[in-house]
Amino acid sequence: MTSTDATPPLRPTRQRIAVAEAMASFDDFRSAQEIHELLGRRGEHVGLATVYRTLQRLADAGEVDMLRTEDGEAIYRRCSDTHHHHLVCRSCGRTVEVEGPAVERWTRAIASEHGFTDVSHTLEIFGTCPSCG
């Protein structure tokens, strides 16, 4: 393995920058389509397919979180680089990042207890936030 290029050269194009900036501009989860629209409204036209491609790259690179709504739609959000989970308001979509070392430990323990390796997990908490309650 001289330099296992799983990562081909990445170019900072106008489109990629636009998407990255858009992601930086809000705090909650948005779908690819919403981001595409947002960019359009801002005058930064970026093709829908490109938005999808870019978001995937960002997600792979761990720069954004991607999760699925109940009905299977992918939604994205910029995130801090530490591992964490989300507390999401069912009605207004407001999200809070939460951490739980105990949960991390627990999942690892359970997994190895069953002989599973290379473990990862997803955890989302849903509820009604104070202002929507």
Partner DNA sequence: GCTGATTTGACAACGATTCTCAATCGCCAT
Partner DNA sequence: ATGGCGATTGAGAATCGTTGTCAAATCAGC
**Binding site feature residues for Zn(2+):** 89, 92, 129, 132
| 9 counts as binding its own copies under rule CB under 8 A | no
Site for its own copies in 59-118 (CB under 8 A): 68, 72-74, 87, 89-90, 96, 98, 100, 102-103, 106-107, 110-111, 114-118
Q: Which amino acid is at 56?
A: Q
Q: Taking the CA atoms of the chain, what radius of gyration do you get in angstroms?
A: 17
Helix (H) or strand (E) holding 105: helix 101-113
Helix (H) or strand (E) holding 42: none
Q: Which amino acid is at 97?
A: E
38 and 22 in contact (C-beta within 8 Å)?
Answer: yes
Q: Which is nearer to its own copies, 43 or 130 (CB)?
A: 130
- What values do phi and psi take at 85, rounded to 5? -130, 180
Q: How far apart are CB 99 and its own copies at their closest, in Å?
A: 9
Picked from its own copies, DNA, none, the partner binding residue 87 (CB below 5 to 8 A depending on kind) is: its own copies
What residues make contact with its own copies under the rule CB under 8 A? 68, 72-74, 87, 89-90, 96, 98, 100, 102-103, 106-107, 110-111, 114-130, 133
